């Protein structure tokens, strides 16, 4: 009995991981999980409440202003939010890590130029920079990824810079340099593996922030464009019907909350584990 309770306790302790995995599974298997085509319209069944039934079909989360199934659009919308967040985190992480390691290892004028550039980007409000850049490049899936990566790489650079400074003068790094190892070899084999832990924590926390940024841009009409479903655009449409059809905005808002919450809690757990391991 104690083993069963201990196992249940362990499973419950990692509930953010299971929740995050479930949301990712919804995105991956959307074509098989969605009960209807997310773009199929039914004007005779518009703005119907959750549980509405028509011609033998049940709309569990109701329909929107065009009679589209909210559950199907919610499931497909997870694809846009997760894909934008994941690709943005990957792109911004690669750029930020390269800049931070170069500044922390090369020192001198390279350090000065790169870190002043980081300071400039950090001094501009991220959402303002994102809105201005999207307004210039135009809305769209690819442009949103570029914009979010452009606004968030300095955080990776700052963390990587500090971690690289702390490791660059360690004996094993000095020994590798004295034996003729190239800077790329030192950075790739001796520095990066020792700073990857804190960077994973930053990436996990940034993932939740990227989801919020994507939803905010889509809410303003600057993100993923219709008819592609996204949680931000669903909430933007639903705000016009909040008094009569609350479910259009409420369900994507709840899904967004759960995704960001699980990502942030996973980041906190990773940070605690890494801190305990030191």
Does a structural domain hold residue 28?
no
Q: What tens-digit pLDDT sequence spans the chain (278 residues)?
A: 555 445 445 555 677 888 888 888 988 898 898 888 888 888 888 888 888 887 777 888 888 888 888 999 999 988 888 888 899 999 999 999 999 998 888 888 888 888 888 888 888 777 777 777 777 777 777 888 888 888 888 989 999 998 888 887 788 777 777 777 777 888 888 888 888 888 888 888 888 888 888 888 887 777 777 777 888 888 888 888 888 888 888 999 999 999 888 888 888 777 766 655 55
Q: For residues 26 and 14, give the distance between their C-alpha atoms in angstroms, rounded to a whole number.
A: 19
Q: How many domains does the chain have?
A: 1
Does a structural domain hold residue 275?
yes
Q: Which two tokens stand for residue 54?
A: 């028509």
Burial of 75 (0-12, 13-18, 19+ CB in 10 A): buried
Q: Which two tokens stand for residue 217?
A: 């841009």
Do the Cβ atoms of 76 and 226 come closer than 8 Å? no
The per-residue pLDDT for 95 is 92
What secondary structure letter does DSSP report for 40?
-
Do the Cβ atoms of 161 and 100 come closer than 8 Å? yes
Domain CATH for 253: 1.10.3720.10
Q: For residues 84 and 91, give the distance between their C-alpha atoms in angstroms, rounded to a whole number.
A: 11
The per-residue pLDDT for 183 is 76
* Domain of residue 253, residue span: 87-278
Do the Cβ atoms of 149 and 85 come closer than 8 Å? no
Does a structural domain hold residue 212?
yes
Does a structural domain hold residue 29?
no
The per-residue pLDDT for 156 is 92
The per-residue pLDDT for 12 is 58
Does a structural domain hold residue 3?
no
Do the Cβ atoms of 150 and 127 come closer than 8 Å? no
Does a structural domain hold residue 218?
yes
The per-residue pLDDT for 236 is 84
Does a structural domain hold residue 125?
yes
Do the Cβ atoms of 30 and 22 come closer than 8 Å? no
Does a structural domain hold residue 226?
yes
Instruction: Identify any residues that bridge with 69 across adjacent strands, giving them in sequence order.
Output: 63
Burial of 145 (0-12, 13-18, 19+ CB in 10 A): buried
């Amino acid at each position: 009995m104690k083993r069963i309770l201990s196992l249940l306790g362990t499973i419950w302790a990692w509930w953010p991981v299971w929740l995050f995995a479930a949301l990712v599974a919804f995105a991956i298997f959307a074509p098989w999980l969605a009960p209807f085509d997310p773009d199929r319209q039914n004007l005779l069944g518009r703005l119907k409440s959750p549980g509405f039934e028509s011609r033998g079909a049940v709309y569990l989360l109701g329909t929107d202003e065009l009679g589209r199934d909210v559950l199907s659009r919610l499931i497909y919308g997870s694809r846009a939010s997760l894909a934008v967040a994941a690709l943005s985190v990957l792109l911004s992480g690669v750029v930020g890590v390269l800049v931070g390691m170069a500044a922390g290892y090369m020192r001198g004028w390279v350090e000065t130029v790169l870190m002043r550039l980081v300071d400039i980007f950090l001094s501009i409000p991220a959402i303002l920079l994102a809105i201005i850049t999207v307004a210039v490049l135009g809305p769209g899936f690819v442009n949103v990824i570029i914009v979010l990566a452009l606004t968030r790489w300095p955080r990776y650079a700052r963390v990587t810079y500090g971690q690289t400074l702390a490791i660059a003068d360690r004996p094993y790094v000095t020994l590798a340099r004295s034996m003729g190892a190239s800077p790329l070899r030192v950075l790739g084999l001796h520095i990066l593996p020792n700073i990857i832990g804190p960077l994973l924590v930053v990436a996990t926390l940034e993932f939740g922030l990227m989801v919020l940024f994507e939803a905010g841009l889509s809410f303003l009409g600057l993100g993923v464009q219709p008819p592609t479903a996204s949680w931000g655009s669903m909430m933007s449409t639903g705000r016009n019907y909040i008094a009569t059809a609350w479910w259009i905005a409420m369900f994507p808002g709840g899904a967004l909350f759960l995704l960001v919450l699980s990502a942030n809690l996973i980041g906190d757990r990773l940070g605690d584990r890494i801190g305990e391991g030191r």
